[in-house]
């Protein structure tokens, strides 16, 4: 299901509709990039304070079980070292607050830091839609 707010906004499922990125777009956006699948690494989880080096080194299976039980991840690919973050009931990253802003911005995952200039379905473009 495409998330689109109005005719000026982009369709998150169709990167061809995305706007050329510039940093000012983020100030009045409804954070559609945060509705993309977010894959994180153990380094991201440590930076977020969700786990520590000891748990990663000695109890990875326990970590995965705990994060699933806590509703923080939905999947894990241990061979690639990737965890898929859970989403809120209404969609979007589990770290979005009530105003669709990142609640962990300073410690956000590396994939979020790289979007959309270094890692994106369409490099240099973002699924901008105006905030309501």
Yes or no: say if 2 and 11 are a contact pair by the CB < 8 Å rule: yes
Q: pLDDT band at residue 131, thresholds of 50, 70 and 90?
A: confident
Q: Hey, which residues does 126 pair with through a beta bridge?
A: 19
pTM of the model: 0.86
Note the pLDDT of residue 4.
42
Note the pLDDT of residue 47.
98
- The sign of the torsion formed by the CA atoms of 108, 114, 117, 121 equals negative
Residue-wise pLDDT for 111-129, tens only, equals 999 999 999 999 999 999 9
Q: CA 78, CA 25: separation in Å to the nearest integer?
A: 35
Q: CA 81, CA 56: separation in Å to the nearest integer?
A: 11
Three-class SS state of 85: strand
Residue-wise pLDDT for 64-88, tens only, equals 999 999 999 999 999 999 999 999 9
């Amino acid at each position: 299901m495409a998330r689109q707010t109005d005719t000026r906004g982009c369709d998150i499922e169709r990167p061809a509709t995305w706007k050329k990125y510039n940093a000012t777009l983020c100030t009045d956006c409804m954070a559609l990039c945060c509705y993309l699948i977010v894959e994180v690494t153990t380094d991201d989880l440590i930076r977020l304070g969700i786990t520590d080096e000891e748990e990663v080194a000695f109890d990875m299976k326990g970590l995965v079980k705990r994060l699933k039980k806590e509703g923080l991840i939905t999947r894990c690919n241990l061979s690639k070292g990737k965890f898929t973050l859970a989403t809120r009931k209404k969609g979007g990253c589990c770290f979005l607050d009530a105003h669709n802003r990142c609640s962990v911005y300073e410690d956000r995952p590396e994939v979020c830091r790289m979007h959309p200039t270094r890692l994106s379905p369409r490099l240099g473009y973002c699924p901008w839609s105006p905030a309501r």
